[in-house]
Structure 1
Amino acid sequence: MDLMLVPYSSDPSLKLIQWPPFLLASKVPIALDMAVQFRSKDTDLWKRICADEYMKCAVIECYESFKLVLNALVIGHTEKRIIGIIIKEVESNISKNTFLTNFRTGSLPILCNKFVKLVEILKEGDEFKHNTVVLLLQDMLEVVTRDMMINEIRELVELGHGSKDSGTQLFEKAPDSRPSIAFPIPVTAQWEEQIKRLYLLLTVNESAMDVPKNLEARRRITFFTNSLFMDMPRAPQVRKMLSFSVMTPYYSEETVYSKSDLDMENEDGISIKYYLRKIFPGSNNMNATFLLYTTSSVTHMFMWLSASSDEWENFMERINCKEDADIFENDENILQLRHWVSLRGQTLCRTVRGMMYYRRALKLQAFLDMANEKEILEGYKAVTIPSEEDKKNQKSLYARLEAVADMKFTYVATCQNYGNQKRSGDRRATDILNLMVNNPALRVAYIDEVEEREGAKSHKAFYSVLIKAADNLDQEIYRIKLPGSAKIGEGKPENQNHAIVFTRGEALQTIDMNQDNYLEEAFKMRNLLEEFHEDHGVRPPTILGVREHIFTGSVSSLAWFMSNQETSFVTIGQRVLARPLKVRFHYGHPDVFDRIFHITRGGISKASKGINLSEDIFAGFNSTLRRGNITHHEYIQVGKGRDVGLNQISLFEAKVACGNGEQTLSRDIYRLGHRFDFFRMLSCYYTTTGFYVSSMLVVLTVYAYLYGRLYLSLSGLERAIMKSARIRGDTALKAVMASQSVVQLGLLMALPMVMEIGLERGFRTAIGDLIIMQLQLAAVFFTFSLGTKLHYFGRTILHGGAKYRATGRGFVVRHEKFAENYRMYSRSHFTKAFELLILLVVYQAYGSAATSSTAYFFLTASMWFLVVSWLFAPFLFNPSGFEWQKIVEDWEDWSTWISNRGGIGVPANKSWESWWEEEHEHLQFTGPLGRLMELLLSLRFFFYQYGIVYQLRVSRRDKSIMIYGLSWLVILAVIVILKVVSMGRKKFSADFQLMFRLLKLFLFVGFIITLVILFQFLGLTVGDIFASLLAFLPTGWAILQIAQACRPLVKALGMWASVKALGRGYEYIMGVMIFTPVAILAWFPMVYDFQTRLLFNQAFSRGLQIQRILAGGKKNK
């Protein structure tokens, strides 16, 4: 870090630029080697040194600093005269270009080594090394006068003899006289910085290409320097800039990880403390990957925080610990560790730290605006550590900087539950208070619920309260009584709306809980706010769009996919939307609003329940409809964390898809469509709801195509067409019949990422990343995501019922149980994939075009890819998804879940019945049109039965309607048998188990006799049995769908229990069919190793392997 710093204070004696030390690294040692080996003229040597501007600056700065150190250290009269004579002689020879003639440069490295030791002692400030300093100064004088100077100087000889006659050596303190050296030197911030910088210039031998080592630091510096070449307005003085506020909505997410989080053991019995001690025993083996748990009301999240080795080493150095075990022996170190981990998660602590950089940047910039020459020379650090007098004096520079920063910047965290958390003793309330104490400019807004009495009656009153920290306690600033509860709509926008009155200034930046900021980006906030005064067309800007950097991309391959996808959207995507399309809206934080414009026109977010699920974009709709102008700016960015586990990502995409479904039904989109011109209307459509409509149409086209081909094959038309084409030699018609039906969207969805990476890092890197992404099965992930968007968007359009889905915060990459994956993806992916699978199998069996295997492959390859992706992606991207022990545990959990009976108070994750009721809850509240559409869509499943029964050999090619009627008799018989079994279970299973077993035996024997008769007398074949399954399984599913849509009628007929039993049977069959291939693959250890390498980077893979070893080791103890 020190290598990157430009000096805070200027040295007026140095008439040169003081570059950051990393640019001057190794320049002084190289110059010394050149001087030692050089045998030509002084001018030639200086010309070679000046050829490198950085080397020239380093040499001059070191020489001037050398004189400065000697001048401050040596105070004896004789010693000062001697040093003055030597320096005068050196500079005289330099000016005459005779230095190499009159001095031996071979001893320069010895002199340099002595000086480095001296500077090191000055840096440490150890007062007990006084004698060592004296010896070093004597040695340095000896080297210069005896080894380097060719010509003896008479005055130096006389002064040396004089000191010997007095009985004391130079630099030593004579009895009854003042000391010769001022050691230890009084330390000031300026002196400490100069000594540290001089030490770095003399000792660092690293190449500038290796500084900094941290890749994140390199990325930030690269972006910052590149952004300085972009077009941005000129920044005004801090006193003249627009004032602004930042607002962060907070509910109950993690604030700071507690000590219990560090001590908590996971399911394998490993805590972070145990992990640190066993995996990272020494500082040479640091790759700080942590196992961390957090607890919430919903889930028990398994979190991995990955940090590079240099970050962990720096942390250990800061707290003066050499071993990992030393951290846990000191409460202060544990507190530091908690903060270190918290600042690498998605916590409120990280967000507050990042946003307070705005205040720090404004104070630094105001210092440069307001400080006089003397204060500039003293440096900024002299102001940041004020005296008591400066704090009390309102005219001091410190007080003026504080006042300017307070006037121009306000930060409000809207912690709506802070009052309840404080009353209940929740540690989050204490953590929030600590944040306010550590950041005095932070304000917290919350909704306070209190019981008030009016006469004999009491009622609940609601207040919107703003607090700050004072004397380590919270102090109330404002209390505004509300007409009622503020939580009547969507929670997040309600949280923002109640607190917006506490913000100040002309601009307002909305920052989410999973965001971060950087100091170097905070410096550019003045420039960004000036965009409100710039010319951006007919109307001034009302929302300034800001790009984001996704900082969670290194956690896993899924996180990398999401990071690239989000990066392309928040850069090249929003850039094009803003200009030239002019249809950019507000897609979430961190956009900057014209605060006055929006608080007088409906606020920054809409909060109506359901319709405003995606609350952010409605602020953009509102701004555009009210003649606002939305721009996008690439020269400034903030950090943002994204979901990193597949279930998290799916929940987020489900929320966005539901939100787009509600947008489609909203009047805002209707009004935009009617008021835009033709081109903006099309741009608006395809960049909002149109994307989801198009995605849905693509998948619906697959269904329509396959059902159409199935109709052609089962009706015999396809066979007739192909026969006619063969007779006439019409190869074009055969090619059309075997054409590719679907373009692989997984590759196409990666193209925007390729373009953005190509623009920012070069197209060679972009192509390399694209290849790696495909090798890590990005196409599978994006194809799977397509199913998520399709399902939730379509369900919202048909039935409504969009709701907020909490995805959680943090690096959640835990192993998800099979039952959990089944609950989440059963209706969105698995049932649709099974439908496509049956379509493909039936077409394979009865389609004429399938006679050629090549034609069939080209016809259905992408469809098979779609089926496999939708069925097995949740397990492929599930950490430890192919570990045999986890598979066994998952099966036991699945069996328990699907067999448990539901009831009042039984959660969905404990019982299949409860989940089944919740999964179809939307059908109870849908309108008549939604119910009718559900019935019509369910009719497609009857087509299988109608087509296949006429292909059975047992039907003897009879095409009469009787065959179809007989097939319904079979279905009716199965339903009756299920009903009999259900009734028998209720009557006999508890008290008369023998009767119930006899009943099942009777039914089984009857089934066997029926099969024997059909085989013997009607020509039934094994192929007919499998074909019947393909025919009757979809029919049963259709009956289930229709029964759920007509639930009141089915309950009235007393058939609901049978429907539930049928549903359980279907769920069990689907679960077994999905689980079996996963279990078979888990038999082979190499599959697990391959998956781990596929999902995670090398450090994380190592962590997972070591986790297993440790778990086994602990269990064996």
Structure 2
Amino acid sequence: EAELDKLNASRFAPFWNEIVRNLREEDYINNAELELLLMPKNDGVLPIVQWPLFLLASKVFLAKDIAADYNESQEELWLRVSKDDYMKYAVVECFHSVYHILTSILEKEGCLWVERIYGGIRESISKKNIKSDLHFEKLHIVIAKLVAVLGILRGTTESNDLKKGAVNAIQDLYEVVHHEVFSVDISGYLDEWTQINRARAEGRLFNNLKWPNDPGLKDLIKRLYSLLTIKESAASVPKNLEARRRLQFFMNSLFMKMPVARPASETLSFSVFTPYYSEIVLYSMAELQKKNEDGITTLFYLQKIYPDEWRNFLTRINRDENAADSELFGNPNDILELRLWASYRGQTLARTVRGMMYYRKALMLQSYLERIQSEDLESTFPSAGSADTHFELSPEARAQADLKFTYVVTCQIYGKQKGEGKPEAADIALLMQRNEALRVAYIDEVESVKNGKPSTEYYSKLVKADIHGKDKEIYSIKLPGNPKLGEGKPENQNHAIIFTRGNAVQTIDMNQDNYFEEALKMRNLLEEFSLKRGKHYPSILGVREHVFTGSVSSLASFMSNQETSFVTLGQRVLSNPLKVRMHYGHPDVFDRIFHITRGGISKASRSINISEDIYAGFNSTLRQGSITHHEYIQVGKGRDVGLNQIAVFEGKVSGGNGEQVLSRDIYRLGQLFDFFRMLSFYVTTVGFYFCTMLTVLTVYIFLYGKTYLIGVFTAVPMILGFILESGVLTAFVQFITMQFQLCSVFFTFSLGTRTHYFGRAILHGGAKYRATGRGFVVRHIKFAENYRLYSRSHFVKGMEVALLLVIFLAYGFNNGGAVGYILLSISSWFMALSWLFAPYLFNPSGFEWQKIVEDFRDWTNWLFYRGGIGVKGEESWEAWWEEELQHIYTIRGRILETILSLRFFIFQYGVVYHMSASGESTALSVYWISWAVLGGLFVLLLVFGLNPKAMVHFQLFLRLVKSIALLMVLAGLIVATVFTALSVKDVFASILAFVPTGWGILSIAVAWKPIVKKLGLWKTVRSLARLYDAGMGMIIFVPIAICSWFPFISTFQTRLLFNQAFSRGLEISLILAGNNPNAGM
């Protein structure tokens, strides 16, 4: 059994050591941690398994203390030590290592002395006299002497002084063993002891010492020295949280159920497929050193976010941590390494390529090892500390990996970028040079002249880097025309799918990552295609994702936790038992032959296929495919980390789900599924968004009808996921922590995002792809930018709900008191306030006074800037307002908008009958009088809205008319208040009534824009809309400005927003303050 354990350990060690070395290359661990994590080669010199040092650290000292204090029998002492397996391994390894080292460096009598001492110990153990023969309380002296010997022997070069010092140290060890620690019985071996004593008396017992030059022996000496000197527990190794997470998941996954992989030569071949357009490939030095408005560079941000990884990086390139930046930026190799280090921590193509190329590296290692006989396995792999590159240099291993793996990045506009000399093209070429198995597919446009007319020919090309670093064309396929007819991303995938090969293809987005230890399990995953799940073989293998952006901020943490619950607990249940898991994007593995013969992996029709990924799942299911989910393997995934990015992404997904409702795929699946599977499918796809929309609509229905029932259950799967993954206590602590970070505000805000975009897609169609951006979000988002993004989706609805609650308080809640009203309406107020202020709560530096002043100036400039030809919505309110109306372009849409806008007239109808001026009358005339008053106000608006520039010759008359109108309004109000039943309260009630009515009229007017334009009222409607936006903006802005007067609110907000980073000891306050020590770089 011991030999079998040692054989298994020798087979596992090369894989483990390569995993650890990759962690070092990725700068997650330092050199000291690398030494502790590496596993010895277990080459048969010692009769036991040698485990990594981090498992055995300090175990010898714990065993020594137990032995010194233990007064029971020998068997009970060993039983006590053996309770800790690694303590037992540490003790046994030390015992055998000391014997092997001393017998290797000593000769004749010296070696005989070691044999006799060890023989006496073994004899004492067999006679069960070890407690009486060995003085355990003196063991610490033996350890100290051994450390002295090993400390000299581990020196790299041999010298007479070192040799003499080693001899003296061994003589000291001899004295301690004989006089203080071990009672030696010499009666049975009198001749041998006489020989030993004679040699000692003559001073030649240890003189013939052989210096340890053998690499294996040298490594054993260093390892034993570490075992006898590391007194602290290494349980915290590695310290980096990401490295610990990865190793923990890998080791746990080895105990999960997974198919046995075939030999590398027989495993299924596969391709990895990544679509790319114009995202960041590799950060340039200019981008890393570019300062934002706070004076913070991306490089400085990364140094503060990942301080330990930065130190490990500097050590790897042999730079001092306190070295000047000029030293680091002066060497071209260091500059390239720095760019790669930064890029590997962002959502870049370079990070994705590095991760996916681990598949090839893993296949090379596995193929190489399978060719080595088990008895020669360990001699192939050197011990800890030496770089093992045997498998990477093996021609057979490289050829086998290239047969089984292909990586195609479809860079659609690479040819155009290369022609224009864009830095992205140079960076892509650099990636091809560094990764020989990388292939780049792109569409090449060739201008030509046919029949005297210019024409453009399109070619789909595949290139690789040759030995000189130049692009080498592999395939060139002439296309009948421009292939980009539908949505960009699926068209990008469709033109290049022919360049993939093998039995399977894994779709990977350009903001993903992979890990070497996970790549080792790819062969096991591919075996799933050979296992039937029900009636059919799998056509898509679902793979678990880890969101690596969760530690950037609290918002990123919320998104990460929600995403993690879906890609683990959620998809697990969807796959089994519900059988309704679809393809939700990357990184699923497709049966390539199945899909390219049944419509491909991407649908590209405009608008309807905006969420192109899920249609691959629809397509597969409709064609009798089976989709499974597997959690023993994972890849990394980057997600949006800022509120604006998250909102835009959720808007895209929600709009895509709205389009799915209209698709024939959903209809066909609904027709083909049985009743229970159909319900499961509905709830887990479009039904989720539809129910989300109904949840928000329920609030409106309640408030209009004074009945309210709402339940927010969107966080329940996430909580259950925490409980399953981390335990009840940890889940409870995480949930409470998230509440303090205002996660409820975030999730409530997300309800509004999903409802708005899903509802808009249902009403008007036209969902479109929205670029979210994937950079590091530490910049302050201006007030006007947030207002443009959330005005119609959240602010208008939030103001409407708030008005409803105020009216309900004033006229609809007659009993129950303040407590009753609060209990009844607190959830509605929470939703309204979340929709109004969440973008500013989660906005970096959102409550700094200087930023607020700048935001107000920017907002007013935008609000009053006139639109025109070529003016963008970011520059002018008028241009933005016109853009916001573009989705209303069909008769059906105009009618639906009109019907929905009629609800605003209910405000006026309900309020006017509660005014003092109306008395107890319920006649319809009261309602019509209120419309007459509203008409008068509209006339006044026209008067006050007259443009002085349009009446340049009648300035005096215009001012006179406006002054008379103002005086008449004031006089009328005073007279009505004094001589009629109209009260001051009624004036404010009128505002509550007329403001929603005006918005309703405005909404109907913009819905029928062509008619209003023909009537010549469009400028008036636009002025009214500007007035409403100005008023709504001020209502939101004033509380923010007031809060910004108090500095502690800004501090609290920064602590709240970046809490995840603070928990890791980050210096966010330093980042936001712009206190940059590298300002001179």
Equivalent residue number for residue 1070 of structure 2: 1106
- Aligned residue runs from structure 1 range 952-1031, under 5 A: 952-988=915-951, 997-998=959-960, 1000-1031=962-993
CA distance 1:315–1:265, change in 2 (3 Å):
same
SS at match of 2:342: helix
SS at match of 2:533: coil
Query: Matched residues in 2 for 1:153 and 1:507: separation?
Result: 71
Query: Matched residues in 2 for 1:1112 and 1:401: separation?
Result: 48
User: Is 1:311 paired with 2:309?
Assistant: yes
User: For the Cα contact (< 8 Å) 2:152–2:166, is it kept in 1?
Assistant: no
TM-score when normalising by structure 1: 0.86
- Aligned residue runs from structure 1 range 715-1114, under 5 A: 741-745=708-712, 748-847=713-812, 849-850=814-815, 852-923=817-888, 925=889, 927-988=890-951, 997-998=959-960, 1000-1097=962-1059, 1099-1100=1061-1062, 1103-1107=1067-1071, 1109-1111=1073-1075
- Aligned residue runs from structure 1 range 271-310, under 5 A: 271=297, 290=302, 306-307=305-306, 309-310=307-308
Of the structure 1 ranges 767-776 and 964-973, higher mean CA displacement relative to structure 2 is found in 964-973
Query: Matched residues in 1 for 2:273 and 2:295: separation?
Result: 40
User: For the Cα contact (< 8 Å) 1:449–1:462, is it kept in 2?
Assistant: yes
User: Is 1:592 paired with 2:589?
Assistant: yes
User: For the Cα contact (< 8 Å) 1:65–1:198, is it kept in 2?
Assistant: yes
How far did 1:599 drift? 0.7
Structure 1 residues 752-801: Cα deviation after superposition (integer angstroms, max 9, x where no partner): 11111111211222222222222222222111111111110110011111
Query: Matched residues in 1 for 2:965 and 2:354: separation?
Result: 70
- Aligned residue runs from structure 1 range 59-208, under 5 A: 59-66=91-98, 74=105, 80-97=107-124, 109=140, 112-113=143-144, 116=147, 125=156, 127=157, 130-149=159-178, 153-156=193-196, 170=207, 181=210, 185=213, 194=220, 197-208=223-234
Equivalent residue number for residue 189 of structure 2: none
User: For the Cα contact (< 8 Å) 1:111–1:140, is it kept in 2?
Assistant: no
User: Is 1:446 paired with 2:448?
Assistant: no
The code of the aligned residue for 2:353 comes to V
CA distance 1:256–1:110, change in 2 (3 Å):
farther
The code of the aligned residue for 1:238 comes to A
How far did 1:114 drift? 6.0
Query: Matched residues in 2 for 1:915 and 1:69: separation?
Result: 80
User: For the Cα contact (< 8 Å) 2:163–2:211, is it kept in 1?
Assistant: no
Query: Matched residues in 2 for 1:559 and 1:887: separation?
Result: 24
How far did 1:254 drift? 1.9
SS at match of 2:159: helix
User: For the Cα contact (< 8 Å) 2:557–2:1060, is it kept in 1?
Assistant: no
How far did 1:868 drift? 1.2
The code of the aligned residue for 1:1070 comes to M
- Aligned residue runs from structure 1 range 367-516, under 5 A: 367-373=368-374, 375-380=376-381, 398-454=394-450, 456-470=452-466, 471-516=468-513
How far did 1:831 drift? 0.7
CA distance 1:554–1:333, change in 2 (3 Å):
same
Structure 1 residues 1065-1097: Cα deviation after superposition (integer angstroms, max 9, x where no partner): 000000001111111222222222222222222
The code of the aligned residue for 2:458 comes to F
Query: Matched residues in 2 for 1:1114 and 1:985: separation?
Result: 54
The code of the aligned residue for 2:246 comes to R
The code of the aligned residue for 1:89 comes to R
Query: Matched residues in 2 for 1:194 and 1:458: separation?
Result: 75
The code of the aligned residue for 1:342 comes to S
The code of the aligned residue for 1:873 comes to A
User: For the Cα contact (< 8 Å) 1:24–1:54, is it kept in 2?
Assistant: yes
Equivalent residue number for residue 718 of structure 1: none
How far did 1:606 drift? 0.7
How far did 1:802 drift? 0.5
SS at match of 1:139: helix
Percent of pairs with identical residues: 53
SS at match of 1:217: helix
**What's the C-alpha RMSD, in Å, of the aligned pairs?**
3.2
SS at match of 1:849: coil
Equivalent residue number for residue 359 of structure 1: 360
CA distance 1:832–1:103, change in 2 (3 Å):
closer
User: For the Cα contact (< 8 Å) 1:744–1:862, is it kept in 2?
Assistant: no
Structure 1 residues 895-933: Cα deviation after superposition (integer angstroms, max 9, x where no partner): 11111111122121111111111111111x3x2111111
Equivalent residue number for residue 729 of structure 1: none
CA distance 1:123–1:1005, change in 2 (3 Å):
farther
Structure 1 residues 92-143: Cα deviation after superposition (integer angstroms, max 9, x where no partner): 2233228898888888656655654665677673x4x734532332222321
Structure 1 residues 196-253: Cα deviation after superposition (integer angstroms, max 9, x where no partner): 5444333322325323322323322332233223222122211121111111112222
TM-score when normalising by structure 2: 0.88
The code of the aligned residue for 1:97 comes to S
CA distance 1:945–1:52, change in 2 (3 Å):
closer
- Aligned residue runs from structure 1 range 608-623, under 5 A: 608-623=605-620
User: Is 1:224 paired with 2:250?
Assistant: yes
How far did 1:438 drift? 2.0
SS at match of 1:238: coil
Structure 1 residues 27-85: Cα deviation after superposition (integer angstroms, max 9, x where no partner): 2344556678899998887666555442343234345444555677x5xxxx6334422
The code of the aligned residue for 1:403 comes to A
CA distance 1:1080–1:361, change in 2 (3 Å):
same
Query: Matched residues in 2 for 1:882 and 1:51: separation?
Result: 58
How far did 1:590 drift? 1.0
Equivalent residue number for residue 21 of structure 1: 53
User: For the Cα contact (< 8 Å) 2:544–2:567, is it kept in 1?
Assistant: yes
How far did 1:968 drift? 2.9
The code of the aligned residue for 1:802 comes to A
CA distance 1:956–1:759, change in 2 (3 Å):
closer
User: For the Cα contact (< 8 Å) 1:244–1:506, is it kept in 2?
Assistant: yes
Query: Matched residues in 1 for 2:233 and 2:203: separation?
Result: 45
Of the structure 1 ranges 652-661 and 878-887, higher mean CA displacement relative to structure 2 is found in 878-887
Query: Matched residues in 2 for 1:836 and 1:567: separation?
Result: 32
User: For the Cα contact (< 8 Å) 1:754–1:766, is it kept in 2?
Assistant: yes
Structure 1 residues 874-898: Cα deviation after superposition (integer angstroms, max 9, x where no partner): 1122222122222222111111111
Structure 1 gaps of 5+ residues are 172-179, 276-288, 292-304, 392-396, 710-738
SS at match of 2:635: strand
SS at match of 1:468: strand
Query: Matched residues in 2 for 1:124 and 1:319: separation?
Result: 25
Aligned match for 1:323, one of 303, 321, 324:
321
Aligned match for 2:273, one of 244, 247, 254:
247
CA distance 1:407–1:203, change in 2 (3 Å):
farther
Of the structure 1 ranges 1097-1106 and 428-437, higher mean CA displacement relative to structure 2 is found in 1097-1106
SS at match of 2:107: helix
SS at match of 1:816: coil
How far did 1:1057 drift? 0.9
Query: Matched residues in 1 for 2:631 and 2:258: separation?
Result: 10
User: For the Cα contact (< 8 Å) 1:515–1:638, is it kept in 2?
Assistant: yes
Of the structure 1 ranges 406-415 and 945-954, higher mean CA displacement relative to structure 2 is found in 945-954
Query: Matched residues in 1 for 2:82 and 2:836: separation?
Result: 67
CA distance 1:430–1:138, change in 2 (3 Å):
same
User: For the Cα contact (< 8 Å) 1:118–1:133, is it kept in 2?
Assistant: no
User: Is 1:664 paired with 2:655?
Assistant: no
Query: Matched residues in 1 for 2:957 and 2:381: separation?
Result: 91
SS at match of 1:637: strand
How far did 1:561 drift? 1.5
User: For the Cα contact (< 8 Å) 2:58–2:231, is it kept in 1?
Assistant: yes
